[in-house]
Chains A and B, each alone.
Chain A
Amino acid sequence: MCDPADDGFKQSSDYFCSYGIYMQTDLGEIVPLWSTIPFVGMLLSIALFPLLAPKFWHHHFGKVSFAWSLIVVIPFLVVYKGQALYEFMHIVMADYVPFIIILIALYTVSGNILLRGTLIGTPAVNTLILLTGAALASWMGTTGASMLLIRPFLRANSFRKNRTFMVVFFIFLVANVGGSLTPLGDPPLFLGFLRGVPFFWTFKLAIQMLFTSAILLLVYYMLDTYFYKKEGHQVHKQQTDKEPLSIEGSHNFLFLAGIVGAVLFSGMVKMGDLNILGVHRAAQDVIRDGTLLFLASLSLITTKIEVREANEFSWFPIQEVSILFIGIFLTMMPCLKILQAGSDGALDFVVKAVEEPYHYFWVTGILSSFLDNAPTYLTFMSSLLGRFSPGLEGQEAMAVLLNEKDLYLKAISAAAVFFGSMTYIGNAPNFMVRSIAEETGTPMPSFFGYMLKYSIPILIPVFILVTVIFYL
């Protein structure tokens, strides 16, 4: 029966107990390893379908996500009944919903900011754009910063012959590395925030972020200078119809500040719990989510539609992320529970095999390169909690990790964000940037071309340096 003394019940709700649902011992200790197969299938679908059958994937990704979800949800509900229902409800209400809401808010508000004007793509200007994008990424999200700057960046370089490497560095810096400073920057860090990592804790990654960014910017500047001289373009000097730089929809920066404030508020204020559909949620988190949606609505209402149109704003990427991630979160549940169970779970061998911080850095990183970095981060965070805080719940477990083993958390945080740039599928903005670049006539390398020509030769040496300096 419902035993309030059992830690396992502390997260469960009155609703579930009042309906007499028997909450067994930790689900992670009893679910079998094969229950993670749908999660692997879901992630492999995201990785392989766009390469092997893009048209099918484009039109049917929702059905694929739905199918993998059903394969997990139905058997779990049949076998584990109320306990499984609670876990699914919990992951949806406490992780998925806030995750999608922050993405919607950042995407909407940044989509309502338009940078107009003529920029000439010289090496210095391009480097400055990348630097600006990397700096903005932590505050408006990698997706928001990418969408704000990619079109001006491409327009500025439309006269340049070699543009591919520019877009690749844009993906490295703006769509990934730049987002490592705050939970707003990149989805994995926001998931960490939802699990109890303080908002400003990610500032501890600043040195790694600055180090990585500085090297990448330097390499970019040298490459761009080389190509600029080689191309010998003088087009920019002939341009007569220069439009001065301006920002339309600049009031949306206030909404961005509001988003930062709302997220900070939810991390600093404790207002008790609310019971929503049987799941306990902190009142401050519910207020945050409501505020974020309100700010996104205000942004839409107060900004001219022409601004969004000039940004080629579309809801499709958000729809797509929402559909895919409900599948990811539902299929991920068994995997997370097993990893949280630590040595008592079926993935005990993984927990034991990955020991040192640099192990975590590279394993999280390599998996983040090919799987989406948000679920990868959450998986390894669960593994860390299972390893260092077995039997502890929520904030208590996180406190142990933050106070005693924060190098491990730094390793998975930095890796999840940095390695997202290793492939097109590592992080959601990568494919959006690629799509826009290709649409506007910039040739982009294939999936493997991107890795072989750019990410492996450029990023891997940088990550080796990061490992040596920060994790050995």
Chain B
Amino acid sequence: MLIEKILFPTKFRELSFNSLRTLLPLKASGLKEIVFCHIIERDDVGFVPFGGYMKEEEEKLREQARIRFEDWQKSCAEYGIKSSIIIEVGEAVPHILGIAKKEKVDIMIVGRKKKVAMGNLFAGDHTLQLIRRSKVATLVSKYMVNFEIDGSQYERINENIFDLPLIVMDCSEHSERALNALISLNNTVKKAVIVHHLRVAISKKHDAGELHAAEEAVKDTFDKFCMRLKEAGIQCETHIGAGEIVEEILRISRERNATMLIMGTTGKDRLHEFFQGSISHDLVKLSELPVLLVP
């Protein structure tokens, strides 16, 4: 997987541009083009009760978006990155997914870039819909977040997001895809943290031998992963997690000062997610770090 083309949908909320700036280092990993897109919600201009369509309002919003994008394009040009602009009217989620497919982008940037209110989850409904349905990798960007750990309040600015990514691995196919995505960032990422979660249940009655065997197997897997990363020029450190997987990943990411999370997704639909839950979606909602999901 090479990240050559990014789709950057935006509502021009506060800090959107800051979020964009965090992506520009990807130029070193082969980023060639950013497609900016803004979807004017149909309900903002159409279906005026008993009125019709506000064409002038649409044109005004289009012009506003174009002017803002052209300003952003200058920043891209300074980095030697091409850019294009798409402005459409309609429902945001299907239009963004449609553009991602049509433009054949490698990755899509989603999520709120504004300051998140205390106690709120780090992802809104649109973001969750997009990551649930996207066929391409999605980076849930969170430029500035406020969050709480053990009753203490923190504010975090995710500026250098590629400094120390944490990748969540097991031996599945989707982990392999996540690893390939990380390797494709080799000229941007210098070091990564690998976390493997032990699926063996730890209880009073656990079989020590079984646990030991599982740990050994993980170490072998770690060695293989680290070897591949080192070949790509990325140093790595490894950690084994046990217990509640989401909490473990959050704990390790904070202890190791990770700057983003990377994981593969299994493509569960809404029904499966409802009954079985989704680790990746929980991480998107609960972690204060940007999350790269690779389907």
B52 contacts A314, CB within 8 Å? Answer: no
A54-B46 CB under 8 A given contacts A312-B90, A312-B91: no
CA distance A435 to B55 in the complex (A): 9
Of A55-63, A131-139, A153-161, A343-351, the stretch lying at the interface with chain B is: A55-63
Cβ proximity bits A22-54 to B, threshold 8 Å, 1 near / 0 not: 000000000000000000000000110111001
A314 contacts B51, CB within 8 Å? Answer: no
For residue B58, which residues in chain A have a CB less than 8 angstroms away from its CB? Answer: 439
CA distance A324 to B94 in the complex (A): 29
A194 within 8 A of B: no
CA distance A425 to B50 in the complex (A): 5
Q: How large is the interface on A (under 10, 10 to 19, 20 to 34, 35 or more residues)?
A: 20 to 34
A57-B46 CB under 8 A given contacts A309-B94, A312-B90, A438-B55: no
CA distance A29 to B143 in the complex (A): 66
CA distance A424 to B51 in the complex (A): 7
CA distance A425 to B52 in the complex (A): 10
For residue B51, which residues in chain A have a CB less than 8 angstroms away from its CB? Answer: 49-51, 54, 57-58, 424, 431, 435
8 Å CB interface, B27-64 against A: 42-43, 45-55, 57-58
- What residue in chain A is nearest B46 (Cβ atoms)? A435
A57 contacts B48, CB within 8 Å? Answer: yes
CA distance A55 to B55 in the complex (A): 11
B49 contacts A314, CB within 8 Å? Answer: no
B91 contacts A431, CB within 8 Å? Answer: no
A444 within 8 A of B: yes
For residue B54, which residues in chain A have a CB less than 8 angstroms away from its CB? Answer: 54-55, 58
A320-B94 CB under 8 A given contacts A55-B54, A312-B42, A439-B89: no
For residue A324, which residues in chain B have a CB less than 8 angstroms away from its CB? Answer: 49
Q: Report the minimum CB–CB distance from B124 to chain A (whole Å).
A: 17
For residue A431, which residues in chain B have a CB less than 8 angstroms away from its CB? Answer: 47-52
Which of A312, A372, A428 counts the most B-chain CB atoms under 10 A from its CB? A312
Report which of A61, A428, A438 forms a contact with B52, defined as CB distance below 8 A: A438
B49 contacts A57, CB within 8 Å? Answer: yes
Q: Report the minimum CB–CB distance from B29 to chain A (whole Å).
A: 33
Report which of B46, B49, B91 forms a contact with A439, defined as CB distance below 8 A: B46
A317 within 8 A of B: yes
Cβ proximity bits B60-104 to A, threshold 8 Å, 1 near / 0 not: 000000000000000000000000000001110110000000000
Q: Report the minimum CB–CB distance from A463 to chain B (whole Å).
A: 22
For residue B50, which residues in chain A have a CB less than 8 angstroms away from its CB? Answer: 46-47, 50, 372, 424-425, 428, 431
A434 within 8 A of B: yes
- What residue in chain A is nearest B42 (Cβ atoms)? A314
Report which of B43, B57, B89, B93 forms a contact with A316, defined as CB distance below 8 A: B43
For residue A46, which residues in chain B have a CB less than 8 angstroms away from its CB? Answer: 49-50
A320-B91 CB under 8 A given contacts A435-B52, A435-B53, A439-B53: no
CA distance A444 to B55 in the complex (A): 11
CA distance A428 to B50 in the complex (A): 6
A50-B46 CB under 8 A given contacts A309-B91, A309-B94, A312-B90: no
CA distance A317 to B50 in the complex (A): 10
A55 contacts B91, CB within 8 Å? Answer: no
Q: Report the minimum CB–CB distance from B61 to chain A (whole Å).
A: 12
A434-B52 CB under 8 A given contacts A312-B42, A312-B90: yes
CA distance A49 to B52 in the complex (A): 12
CA distance A424 to B89 in the complex (A): 22
Q: Report the minimum CB–CB distance from A304 to chain B (whole Å).
A: 11
Q: How large is the interface on B (under 10, 10 to 19, 20 to 34, 35 or more residues)?
A: 20 to 34
Q: Report the minimum CB–CB distance from B275 to chain A (whole Å).
A: 15
For residue A92, which residues in chain B have a CB less than 8 angstroms away from its CB? Answer: none
CA distance A444 to B52 in the complex (A): 10
Q: Report the minimum CB–CB distance from A29 to chain B (whole Å).
A: 33
8 Å CB interface, B91-148 against A: 91, 93-94
Which of A317, A424, A439 counts the most B-chain CB atoms under 10 A from its CB? A439
Q: Report the minimum CB–CB distance from B269 to chain A (whole Å).
A: 11
Q: Report the minimum CB–CB distance from A427 to chain B (whole Å).
A: 9
8 Å CB interface, A423-472 against B: 424-425, 428, 431-432, 434-436, 438-439, 444
- What residue in chain B is nearest A372 (Cβ atoms)? B50
A320-B52 CB under 8 A given contacts A309-B91, A312-B91, A314-B43: no
CA distance A47 to B50 in the complex (A): 8
CA distance A425 to B54 in the complex (A): 16
- What residue in chain B is nearest A309 (Cβ atoms)? B94
For residue B43, which residues in chain A have a CB less than 8 angstroms away from its CB? Answer: 314, 316
A61 contacts B42, CB within 8 Å? Answer: no
CA distance A324 to B51 in the complex (A): 13
For residue B91, which residues in chain A have a CB less than 8 angstroms away from its CB? Answer: 309, 312, 314
- What residue in chain B is nearest A316 (Cβ atoms)? B43
Report which of A306, A428, A439 forms a contact with B42, defined as CB distance below 8 A: A439
CA distance A57 to B52 in the complex (A): 11
For residue A432, which residues in chain B have a CB less than 8 angstroms away from its CB? Answer: 47
Report which of A316, A372, A444 forms a contact with B47, defined as CB distance below 8 A: A316
A320-B55 CB under 8 A given contacts A309-B91, A309-B94, A312-B91: no
CA distance A51 to B47 in the complex (A): 13
CA distance A58 to B52 in the complex (A): 10
Q: Report the minimum CB–CB distance from A124 to chain B (whole Å).
A: 29
Q: Report the minimum CB–CB distance from A241 to chain B (whole Å).
A: 16
CA distance A439 to B42 in the complex (A): 9
A50 contacts B48, CB within 8 Å? Answer: yes
CA distance A46 to B47 in the complex (A): 13
CA distance A381 to B18 in the complex (A): 62
8 Å CB interface, A342-365 against B: none
A438 contacts B53, CB within 8 Å? Answer: yes
A58 contacts B90, CB within 8 Å? Answer: no
For residue A436, which residues in chain B have a CB less than 8 angstroms away from its CB? Answer: 46, 53
CA distance A288 to B89 in the complex (A): 37
Other CB < 8 Å A-B pairs besides A55-B57, A324-B49, A435-B46, 19 of them? A50-B51, A50-B52, A54-B51, A55-B54, A57-B49, A57-B51, A58-B48, A306-B94, A309-B93, A312-B42, A312-B91, A314-B43, A314-B47, A317-B47, A320-B47, A424-B50, A432-B47, A434-B53, A435-B51
User: Could you pull out 15 A-B pairs where Cβ atoms are within 8 angstroms?
Assistant: A47-B50, A50-B48, A50-B51, A54-B48, A54-B54, A58-B48, A58-B51, A58-B54, A316-B42, A320-B49, A431-B51, A432-B47, A436-B46, A439-B45, A439-B46
B interface residues with partner A (beta carbon < 8 Å): 42-43, 45-55, 57-58, 89-91, 93-94
- Across chains A and B, which 7 residue pairs bring their CB atoms closest together, nearest first? A50-B51, A309-B94, A438-B53, A435-B53, A434-B52, A316-B43, A425-B50
